[in-house]
Amino acid sequence: MYTIYVYVLDTLADWEIGCVTAELHSGRFFKKDAPRLSLKTVSDSKLPILTMGGLTIMPDCSIDDMVISETSVLVLPGADTWNDPKHGAIIEKAGEFLSLGATVCAICGATTALASFGLLDHRPHTSNGPGFLEMFSPSYKGQSFYIDRPSVADNNLITASSTGALPWAKQIIEHLGVFEANTLEAWYEYFRTGEPERFFALMQTLPHSRDH
């Protein structure tokens, strides 16, 4: 079973994790033999956090409660508060995840935190455009590994820009193997284009649509 830890912090950018958390939690488009998932929110304390959208989240667990294995996934959303030193603990944990073969998924501001700890110096990655990481992470040395795309997957590290939430979600879902390949492609095309016919194409890929 996969355990998905979503790190929550004040000013969390709600929309950046919306697609991936909704699909992984609901399982509405999962294939028949998809691995089971458990989704938990984690924070530096048990205190409630307030998202950028004004929603209050009560963390399910603290950083010390996390269990790391190859089936653990850490999701790091963007936020305006990543420069607070208290978040160093989760980035240290992200380093442990990567070393142990567990998966780390970071988007927008979270990539600057990874960069500051040297976790992007030797692996393909992306962020909010060339120069962004140097601006916010002076110790960053991974320029030669930077790829200017909305989302970049490098084995167990998946990074994205602030506008790359949808392709980031696609790469995370693909990495976990919970959708059939044709379902994932149809899902992505529907949400990318908004074309009604894409929705019907998506529904046709689901097991129940073939059983009737």
pLDDT for residue 116 is more than 70? yes
Cβ-proximal residues to 73 (8 Å cutoff; 6+ apart), any chain: 2, 3, 4, 5, 102, 103, 104, 105, 172, 176
Q: Which of 19, 61, 105, 108 is catalytic?
A: 108
Question: Is 19 annotated as catalytic?
Answer: no
Q: What would the mean pLDDT of 91-95 be, rounded to a whole number? A: 98
For 75-103, letters b (16+ CB in 10 Å) and e give bbbbbeebeeeebeebbebbeebbeeebb
* Per-residue model confidence as pLDDT tens digits over 143-161: 999 999 999 999 999 999 9
pLDDT digits (tens, 9 = 90+) for 128-140: 998 999 999 999 9
The string of DSSP letters for 68-136 reads --TTEEEEE---TTTTSGGGHHHHHHHHHHHHTT-EEEEETHHHHHHHHTTTTTTS-B--SSTTHHHHH
Q: What is the pLDDT of residues 158-176, one digit of tens each?
A: 999 999 999 999 999 999 9
Average pLDDT over residues 49-69: 97
